[in-house]
């Protein structure tokens, strides 16, 4: 699991390889990821936008942004958490993702909450540290 905490909002990510949706012979590798967002602050926040920076093992970057997550813009009261799952296809057997959520408090102030960088590695992939 990967964790990041920004302004008392914690984001936990758990990626997993989706073998049944992947087809290595066609250069298609698919991962799912489960995210938990926890509001440890003393005020309510709404997740209004997401931004993802996705890099495959060749260094090709794809940036994805848009409103909310999985069609929702959840509001988290103090102590609340929100969970969702999504996925990411790549043309290579490994890569990495990171990003941020844009949050808005009840006064209309916006701020970014970090999504921790996490690796996308196919099972059995030999990893070499540089």
| Domain boundaries along the sequence of the chain | 2-121
pLDDT grade, residue 14 (50/70/90)?
very high
Mean pLDDT across 9-35: 96
Residue located via tokens 């009261």: 77
Tell me the pLDDT tens digit for each residue of 113-130. Answer: 999 999 999 886 655 555
| Distance from chain centroid for Cα 7 | 18
| pLDDT at site 123 | 84
Rg of the chain over all Cα atoms, to the nearest angstrom: 16
Mean pLDDT across 71-97: 97
| CATH architecture assigned to 2-121 | Sandwich (2.60)
Statement: residue 37 has pLDDT above 70: yes
Mean pLDDT across 3-14: 97
């Amino acid at each position: 699991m990967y964790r990041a905490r920004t302004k008392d909002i914690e984001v936990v990510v758990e990626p997993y390889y989706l073998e049944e949706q992947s087809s290595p012979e066609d250069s298609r590798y698919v991962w799912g990821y489960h995210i938990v967002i926890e509001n440890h602050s003393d005020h309510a926040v709404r997740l209004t936008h997401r931004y993802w920076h996705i890099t495959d093992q060749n260094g090709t970057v794809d940036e994805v942004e848009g409103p909310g997550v999985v069609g929702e813009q959840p509001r988290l009261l103090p102590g609340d958490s929100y969970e969702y799952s999504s996925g990411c296809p790549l043309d290579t057997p490994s890569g990495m993702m990171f990003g941020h959520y844009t949050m808005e408090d009840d006064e209309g102030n916006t701020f970014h909450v970090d999504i921790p960088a996490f690796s996308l590695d196919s099972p059995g992939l030999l990893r070499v540290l540089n």
